[in-house]
């Protein structure tokens, strides 16, 4: 196993269980542990511009240079990157710098040591500004039964939290860094687990993961793998990125119904978005149900209609579900029928959100208003550069929705952009309220649920935020 030695003083975040090693923190790549350079000698090793050792320590194997001007290796978007730590301790990307030149195979296991040789952990090597994602800290090998142990820990945590019940067989079992398995997502729907790899290392571990899922989670009898959209764009992976790993059963695909808080949802992992369903809104939907009685509800960006079904169950007078995807709208109708039969209280519309909201106003007059509106758009900012535009988008969207709310109405508004923090989102909604001149009060501040835990040492895991507003 290759050893990655960090620059001096770059071990602190790993000692605090932050699971990422940034490429800029790497001092040397040592082909094997037996060839690790003793700390006293290592300090004398330097590299010339061509990447060969200017003064290699005696007896040490050649190590790969970390910053070589001749190094052509780049991250997938073609730029050269290195991360530095900014004043507030967060990593920032410096696109002028280089990353290690002769890294191990992407996806292979590497051990990480501090500059003085202290063992920090074992993880997956990847190409890019995040060079290693740590799987196990303070050990230099992956423990026996690693996959079974980690998946069992995640399962028992959810069991203890009361999330796995006959009336709730839908839950996220593995939430990447939040479950100490960086790069892996597993959602469970009734008897099926849907696995997504976000790193090449997790792609190569997929069969171990699938076996552990079947061994540990009693309800799982088949495992579907869906990583065509999530693996690094240019990663040279071998093996299928899509398909059943265990229990292929094409006949049943069309008819998987999963239960969330006693309500039934059809899950289509083959054709649906992400793993097929947005489990992360479960608790927020349950909260909405409490406010729905007698209300005219508008569910914008409804996808498969999670909020709509809860609103109908909560006694809404009418529910209008809107999504730009015709396929999603079809699924909402399916889900409503399955739970309530023919339901004249529900209308589904395939339309762009802004077009729909704009159409509520004709000649400066609102033609229709609602008592309760849900705004749950897709991530407006996928990276930091997109944040200013995203904030303008949130302001515009929320202003439009606020205009469509009757006095005394309620707005559930969300952002799932990881790059937009909750203060920035709140400010965007504040600007929207000020723009339309309504009196607005915050009733709840919402976030992701218990099965999407955030490792306290990895705040980047926090992504879903929401506000419930009382609008006068």
Instruction: Give residues in contact with ligand SAH (CB under 6 A).
Output: 273, 278, 281, 301-304, 306-307, 323-325, 328, 352-353, 376-378
Q: Which is nearer to ligand SAH, 22 or 380 (by Cβ)? A: 380
Which of 94, 97, 81, 180 minimizes the C-alpha distance to 134? 180
Cβ 229 to ligand SAH, closest distance in Å?
Answer: 14
User: Do the beta carbons of residue 4 and residue 24 sit within 8 Å?
Assistant: no
Cβ 99 to ligand SAH, closest distance in Å?
Answer: 34
Cβ 46 to ligand SAH, closest distance in Å?
Answer: 51
DSSP-assigned beta bridge partners for residue 323: 350
Q: What is the 3-state secondary structure (H, E, C) of the chain?
A: CEEEEECCCCCHHHHCCCCEEEHHHEEEEECCHHHCCCHHHHCCCCECCCCCECCCCCCCCCCECCCCCCCCCCCCCCCCCEEEECCCCCEEEECCCCCCCCCCCCCCEEEEECCCCCEEEEEEECCCCEEEEEEEECCCCCCCCHHHHHHHHHHHHHHHCCCCECCECEEEEEEHHHHCCCCEEEEEECCEEEEEECCHHHHHCHHHHHHHHHHHCCCCCEEEEECCCCCCCCCCCCCCCEEEEECCCHHHHHHCEEEECCEEEECCCCCCCCCCCCHHHHHHHHHHHHHCCCCEEEEECCCCCHHHHHHHHCCCCEEEEEECCHHHHHHHHHHHHHHHCCCCCEEEEECCHHHHHHCCEECCEECCCEEEEEECCCCCCCCHHHHHHHHHHHHHHHHHHHHCEEEEEEEEEEECCCCCCHHHHHHHHHHHHHHHCCCEEEEEEEECCCCCCCCCCCHHHCCCEEEEEEEC
Q: Which is nearer to ligand SAH, 71 or 283 (by Cβ)? A: 283
Q: Which is nearer to ligand SAH, 25 or 420 (by Cβ)? A: 420
Cβ 328 to ligand SAH, closest distance in Å?
Answer: 5
Cβ 177 to ligand SAH, closest distance in Å?
Answer: 22
Catalytic residue list contains 302: no
Cβ 323 to ligand SAH, closest distance in Å?
Answer: 5
Cβ 13 to ligand SAH, closest distance in Å?
Answer: 32
Q: Which is nearer to ligand SAH, 325 or 435 (by Cβ)? A: 325
Active site residues: 416
């Amino acid at each position: 196993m290759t050893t990655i030695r960090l620059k001096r003083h770059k071990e602190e975040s790993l000692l605090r269980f932050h699971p990422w090693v940034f490429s800029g923190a790497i001092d040397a790549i040592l082909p094997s542990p037996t060839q690790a350079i003793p700390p006293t000698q290592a300090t004398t090793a330097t590299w010339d511009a061509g990447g060969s050792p200017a003064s290699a320590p005696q007896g040490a194997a050649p190590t790969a240079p970390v910053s070589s001007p001749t190094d052509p290796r780049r991250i997938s978007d073609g730029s050269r990157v290195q991360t530095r730590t900014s004043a507030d301790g967060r990593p920032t990307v410096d696109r002028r710098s280089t990353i290690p030149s002769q890294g191990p195979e992407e996806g292979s296991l590497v051990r990480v040591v501090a500059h003085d040789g202290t063992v920090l952990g074992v993880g997956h090597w990847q190409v890019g500004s995040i060079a290693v994602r740590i799987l196990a800290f303070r050990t230099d090998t992956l423990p026996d039964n690693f996959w079974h142990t980690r998946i069992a820990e995640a399962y028992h945590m959810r069991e203890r939290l009361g999330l796995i019940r006959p009336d709730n067989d839908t839950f996220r079992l593995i939430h990447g860094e939040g479950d100490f398995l960086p790069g892996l997502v597993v959602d469970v729907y009734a008897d099926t687990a849907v696995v997504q790899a976000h790193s090449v290392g997790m792609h190569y571990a997929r069969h171990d993961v699938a076996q552990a899922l079947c061994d540990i989670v009693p309800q799982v009898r088949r495992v579907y793998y869906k990583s065509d959209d999530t693996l690094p764009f240019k990663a040279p992976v071998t093996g299928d990125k899509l398909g059943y790993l265990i229990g292929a059963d094409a006949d049943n695909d069309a008819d998987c119904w999963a239960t969330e808080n006693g309500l039934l949802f059809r899950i289509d992992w083959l054709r649906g978005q992400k793993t097929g369903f947005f489990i992360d809104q479960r608790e927020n939907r349950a909260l909405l149900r409490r406010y729905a009685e007698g209300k005219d509800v508008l569910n914008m960006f409804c996808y498969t209609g999670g909020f709509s079904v809860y609103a109908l169950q909560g006694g809404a007078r009418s529910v209008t579900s809107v999504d730009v995807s015709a396929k999603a709208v079809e699924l909402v109708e399916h889900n409503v029928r399955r739970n309530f039969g023919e339901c004249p209280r529900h209308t589904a519309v395939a339309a762009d959100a802004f077009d729909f909201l704009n159409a509520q106003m004709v000649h400066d007059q609102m033609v229709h208003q609602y008592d309760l509106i849900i705004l749950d758009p897709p991530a407006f900012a996928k990276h930091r550069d997109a944040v200013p535009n995203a904030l303008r988008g949130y302001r515009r969207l929320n202003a439009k929705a606020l205009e469509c709310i009757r006095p005394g109405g309620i707005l559930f508004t969300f952002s799932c952009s990881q790059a937009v923090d909750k203060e920035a989102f709140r400010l965007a909604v504040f600007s929207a309220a000020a723009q339309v001149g309504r009196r607005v009060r915050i009733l709840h501040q919402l976030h992701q649920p218990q099965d999407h835990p955030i490792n306290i040492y990895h705040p980047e895991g926090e992504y879903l935020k929401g506000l419930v507003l009382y609008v006068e």
